[in-house]
């Protein structure tokens, strides 16, 4: 089945393509579709639903959408739903590296380092017809970037039971433990019913 994924993020498409095979994952830029809905919700579910509805209205086909981010306990759950826009208050979007450095500077001197990645994923099949799944990956925020795999905050989050950051995990292993991987496998069960 061809599934439109409500994102312009090629890294996420790559992950989902591995997990949801043999289904074909297409992002709007693949087909020249202009897509940039404003994410105004206060939670991951709300933002995922905004994106799912917006893309469904454009393509009229099944849509997969996610909203995900890192929630740091010592920062009251921040950056949370603002993870991709963290530090972009002036309208200039920071790079992954710059957002990681900002998070490290905001954590300077704080000993409590527990955090989690959260992913809410929606399979949108039509008006008022959708499934929502939310999963997490628990971790510990470290003080320096480690690893060259993954993207976003992956180099800062240590997966304790593996002794590696998310960015140090091989792709298949990341897919097995990550918040997005867990959510996508639940969606795959729904697709295959």
Residues labelled catalytic: 67
CB atoms within 10 A of CB 22: 6
12 annotated binding-site participant: yes
152 marked as part of a ligand binding site: yes
Annotated binding-site residue? 153:
yes
Residue 180 assigned to a binding site: yes
Nearest to 47, CA basis, from 38, 57, 39: 39
Q: Per the annotation, does 23 bind a ligand?
A: no
With beta carbons less than 8 A apart as the criterion, state whether 140 and 114 touch: yes
36 among the known binding-site residues?
no
- Residue 151 is assigned to a ligand binding site: yes
Q: Which H helix or E strand runs over 38? A: none
Residue in this structure with the two tokens 């900002």, named with its chain if needed: 102
Cα 54 to chain center, whole Å?
Answer: 18
**Dist CA 148 CA 96 (whole Å):** 12
Q: Which residues are annotated as a binding site?
A: 7-12, 38, 67-68, 151-154, 174, 179-180
Q: Which residues are annotated as a binding site for substrate?
A: 7-12, 68, 151-154, 174, 179-180
Q: Which residues are annotated as a binding site for Mg(2+)?
A: 38, 67
């Amino acid at each position: 089945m061809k599934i439109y994924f409500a994102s312009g993020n090629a890294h996420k498409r790559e992950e989902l393509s591995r997990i949801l095979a043999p289904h074909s994952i297409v992002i709007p830029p693949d087909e020249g579709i202009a897509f940039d809905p404003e994410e105004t919700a206060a939670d991951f579910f709300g933002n995922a639903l905004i994106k799912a509805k917006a893309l469904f209205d454009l393509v009229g086909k099944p849509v997969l959408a996610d909203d995900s981010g890192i929630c740091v306990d010592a920062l009251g759950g921040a950056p949370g739903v603002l993870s991709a826009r963290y530090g972009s208050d002036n309208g200039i979007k920071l790079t992954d590296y710059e957002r990681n450095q900002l998070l490290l500077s905001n954590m300077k001197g704080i000993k409590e380092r527990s955090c989690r990645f959260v992913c809410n994923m929606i399979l949108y099949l039509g008006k008022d017809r959708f499934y929502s799944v939310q999963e997490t990956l628990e971790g510990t925020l470290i003080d320096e970037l480690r690893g060259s795999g993954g993207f976003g905050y992956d180099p800062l989050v240590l997966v304790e039971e593996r002794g590696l950051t998310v960015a140090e995990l091989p792709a298949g292993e990341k897919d097995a433990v990550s918040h997005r991987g867990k959510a996508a496998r639940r969606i795959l069960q729904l697709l295959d019913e």
